[in-house]
Amino acid sequence: MTSAFGAAVRVWRDRLSVADTGLPATARRRAAGLRREELASLAGLSVDYVVRLEQGRALNPSPQVVAALARALQLNAAERDHLYCTAGLLPPAAGEVSVHIPPGVARIAARLGDVPLAVFSADWTLLTWTPLWASLLGDPASVAPHERNLLRVLFTPGASPAWPRVTSDGVSATLPAALVADLRTTAAAHPHDRRLAALVTSLYATSPEFAAHWDSGAVATHESDRKTITHPVVGPVTLDCDVLTAHGSDLRIVVYTAPAGSSAADKLDLLRVTGVTPVDD
């Protein structure tokens, strides 16, 4: 079981071009495909753990690890399900909110690394992001994966995560209501997803603001906004924020842009060159 898992990971690692991942390509590569350390970086795992998985020395990878590897390896849905099965796990059910990123969306995210872009699942859990997103809004890698849900960040009392920096007044006036209305749409489309139901129950019990928005019954899809990010180095940056979708999935692809020649575009250029990542005090 585990050897089949390791073999699958190795085969899919060998076939993936570094150009499709957004990682810098080195001049000399002895073989095509990703190195183990590159796969580990993309999946958020240690290199030693990836080695042990491939060699069959690490047993029983968790669903979270398998999902992270499937995203990093840019597997299609059938390949993802096979990876789960070789790990001795049931593939995600069709009615659950998917955290899988199709290969085409993964390539788009990798090749648009010069803009702040992130991919969220339908319940607004952050799945992947570009370096400029981290430089602008704070590095999500500093937050535990299970805490990378935008609704939890907005509605958990006293939360002060390292991301995201949103607006100069803390949060857009319309964003919380828009996200709750969007979440209601997702909940209706996935009525049997227990993780999603638990998210709604938890936020409803702990956040009066979330409960008020939920009780309003508003249903909508969050699509676009205009936000001012207060960055500790370049100062306020006002950007257009658009939420895109990919055919055949219910992922949310969030992209920040600025008009060419604007002061906001100049600030993004500075962050792109310097790679400065905001850090909370």
Q: 3-state DSSP call for residue 252? A: strand
Which positions ≥6 away from 14 have C-beta within 8 Å?
31, 32, 33, 34
Output the average pLDDT for the chain. 86
- For the beta carbon of residue 236, count every other beta carbon within 10 angstroms: 13
* pLDDT for residue 280: 46
Interatomic CA distance for residues 148 and 164, integer angstroms = 10
* pLDDT for residue 277: 59
* pLDDT for residue 159: 62
20-67 tens-digit pLDDT: 888 877 657 776 789 999 999 999 899 999 999 999 998 889 999 999
88-130 tens-digit pLDDT: 999 988 788 998 999 999 998 888 888 999 999 999 999 999 9
Across 207-218, average pLDDT: 92
- CA-based nearest residue to 258, from 231, 218, 277, 279: 231
Interatomic CA distance for residues 118 and 153, integer angstroms = 16
Tokens of 14: 């060998």
* pLDDT for residue 196: 94
Phi-psi region of 60 (alpha: psi -120 to 50; beta: other; left: phi over 0): left
User: What is the per-residue burial (b if ≥16 Cβ within 10 Å, else e) of 253-268?
Assistant: bbbbebeeeeebeebb
Q: Is the pLDDT of residue 262 over 80?
A: yes
CATH topology assigned to domain 2-86: 434 Repressor (Amino-terminal Domain) (1.10.260)
The lowest-confidence range among 75-84, 171-180, 245-254 is: 171-180
How large is the C-alpha radius of gyration of the chain? 19
Q: Is the pLDDT of residue 222 over 60?
A: yes
Q: Is the pLDDT of residue 1 over 70?
A: no
Tokens of 57: 């020395």
- Positive or negative, the CA dihedral 65, 71, 73, 75 is positive
75-92 tens-digit pLDDT: 999 999 999 999 999 998
Q: 3-state DSSP call for residue 149? A: strand
Q: Which residue has the higher pLDDT, 201 or 247?
A: 201
Residue count (the chain): 281
Q: Which residue has the higher pLDDT, 91 or 223?
A: 91
Between the CA of residue 142 and those of 44, 119, 148, 162, 204, what are the distances in Å? 11, 17, 10, 7, 26
Q: 3-state DSSP call for residue 229? A: strand
Query: What are the sequence ranges of the domains in the chain?
Result: 2-86, 103-274
* pLDDT for residue 169: 47
157 phi, psi to nearest 5 deg:
-60, 130
Across 200-221, average pLDDT: 91
H helix and E strand count, the chain? 12, 5
Between the CA of residue 217 and those of 186, 201, 257, 275, what are the distances in Å? 13, 15, 32, 42
Between the CA of residue 187 and those of 177, 192, 195, 262, what are the distances in Å? 15, 9, 11, 39
- Percent pLDDT > 70 in the chain is 90
140-156 tens-digit pLDDT: 887 777 788 999 988 88
User: What is the per-residue burial (b if ≥16 Cβ within 10 Å, else e) of 45-78?
Assistant: beeebbebbbeeebeebeeebbbbbbbbbbbebe
Specify the CATH number of the domain 103-274. 3.30.450.180
Q: Place 172 in a pLDDT band, splitting at 50, 70 and 90.
A: low
Tokens of 65: 């690890």
Q: Place 158 in a pLDDT band, splitting at 50, 70 and 90.
A: low
Element containing residue 150 per DSSP (H, E): helix 150-155
